[in-house]
Structure 1
């Protein structure tokens, strides 16, 4: 993997990145598209807010990349689709990656592609499908110099926690992150842990592979900013947040606040003040 594309993802001064994930519609769950029904509008808002990257699917990436100018956020392209988030689960569950995903990402001028590595209780076949996808994508990603972001996702049993609930057990997260590294990740998009005081273990096991931390469920602004600061202090190279930005009443404001913490090392109070200063 060459660093050329990643030079357009990470801020050259801070070495960090904010990737806003808006790939939720790919998974076919009605609740996932609350607040993002009009993707053209969502992308308008995000381009104006200027995060480092926006994470989109094959079908939505063109809405970003067709815009003129060289200062828009970089594209991270989601490559796989699964039906593992329903409650109850479908009787047949699956995970597949997009055919020719890496070539599509090259044509769309993406800076990286993202693929899941899911640990779903009682369904080892999903992890196997993810591993097969990762191995196929890794081969083509190497050929085209496309950075591969692997998303280790430790999930709770859907019948107990409902769809899209993660397991914050640090031991499980560390083990799955290590597997992602072994499979050839260029970037890791990792779960947050229930206990952030030990999150440095995730950074340690990634051992030089940049770790970007997922946002998880919606939380209040101060909690989100404090959690962001803590994972950065632990050694994370950035964040990949979705619902905490796109479902926020002021997406541009919360983006500006997060960017100040990421790239300027701003205090929580200063970042909150920035949020209030940015027009809704």
Structure 2
């Protein structure tokens, strides 16, 4: 077993083979948004459930606000450099490197690629270059597929999402985070030679909608989720996390997961 395999085992549950990743990297572009104003408190509350397989976060949050009780997996985002206040959110560059992430104790790194955006070329080159460094250090690379505002209407187009997932893998990603499509998501997974994890996406209207999305993704072949605001902006984040965990790791259906959610809410 080499370093790559060992690090991947820290990110995925050994029994189910899937991963429940909670993302708290939103502040790098959106600032102190609802649910992440006190990011240390949010992390602590969810970490105490013992259900988070891995965290996706930035180096600043990792250094100053991440104090887990156990040893969860850590995926460090090393691309960024643009904010919602700027002219173009997709104009990301590299904000860190593999060596820095490993020195801090991360198990994997994440880099965005914005398919179909004005910065598609730049972000894909960044992804490919980081992939080369990752090979040197046997470190998994999560390719975070984005579309940008220009292609917002294509998030539910399975052909477009399949294109992005495949392109990220072709450029060296070992894992791909992309959007769930209600139709033909299995084709997205089939066309990608590396494990696919779905992005939580925009906030769902209800927790039940979140559970339906997660269930559909797992049934379509996803190996897990990388979810942020649909967890920590929920009125009952710990209860919802338990329900999502049930779908990802324990083969619960939507109705069973919703019953678990209701039970956990009642007990709080």
* TM-score after normalising by structure 1: 0.86
Q: Residue in 1 aligned with 2:134? A: 141
Q: Residue in 2 aligned with 1:230? A: 216
In structure 2, which of residues 120, 124, 134 is the aligned counterpart of residue 131 of structure 1?
124
Q: Residue in 1 aligned with 2:62? A: 61
The structural deviation recorded for 1:92 is 9.6
Q: Residue in 1 aligned with 2:40? A: 40
In structure 2, which of residues 201, 209, 214 is the aligned counterpart of residue 216 of structure 1?
201
The structural deviation recorded for 1:185 is 1.0
User: CA 1:22 to 1:271, structure 2 compared with 1: closer, same or farther past 3 Å?
Assistant: same
Task: Write the distance in 2 (CA, Å) between the matches of 1:234 and 1:84.
Answer: 33
Task: Write the distance in 2 (CA, Å) between the matches of 1:214 and 1:176.
Answer: 13
Question: For 1:33, what is the secondary structure of its paired residue?
Answer: coil
Please list the CA deviations of residues 133-170 of structure 1 after superposition, one character each: whole Å capped at 9, or x if unmatched: 11221121111111000012123328xx6xxx863221
Alpha-carbon contact 1:156-1:167 (below 8 Å) kept: no
Question: Superposition pairs for residues 23-38 of structure 1, below 5 Å?
Answer: 23-27=25-29, 29-30=30-31, 33-38=33-38
User: CA 1:250 to 1:58, structure 2 compared with 1: closer, same or farther past 3 Å?
Assistant: same
Q: Residue in 1 aligned with 2:20? A: 18
Alpha-carbon contact 2:18-2:248 (below 8 Å) kept: yes
Question: Superposition pairs for residues 64-83 of structure 1, below 5 Å?
Answer: 66-67=67-68, 69=69, 71-83=70-82
Q: Which structure 1 residue ranges, 5 or more long, are not aligned? A: none
Question: Superposition pairs for residues 82-161 of structure 1, below 5 Å?
Answer: 82-83=81-82, 85=84, 90=87, 94-99=91-96, 101-121=97-117, 123=118, 126-157=119-150
* TM-score after normalising by structure 2: 0.89
Q: Residue in 1 aligned with 2:186? A: 200
Task: Check if 1:191 corresponds to 2:179.
Answer: yes
User: CA 1:258 to 1:172, structure 2 compared with 1: closer, same or farther past 3 Å?
Assistant: same
Q: Residue in 2 aligned with 1:272? A: 258
Alpha-carbon contact 1:155-1:166 (below 8 Å) kept: no
Task: Write the distance in 1 (CA, Å) between the matches of 2:17 and 2:88.
Answer: 44
Question: For 2:248, what is the secondary structure of its paired residue?
Answer: helix
Alpha-carbon contact 1:17-1:53 (below 8 Å) kept: yes
User: CA 1:65 to 1:6, structure 2 compared with 1: closer, same or farther past 3 Å?
Assistant: farther
Alpha-carbon contact 1:120-1:156 (below 8 Å) kept: no
User: CA 1:92 to 1:173, structure 2 compared with 1: closer, same or farther past 3 Å?
Assistant: closer
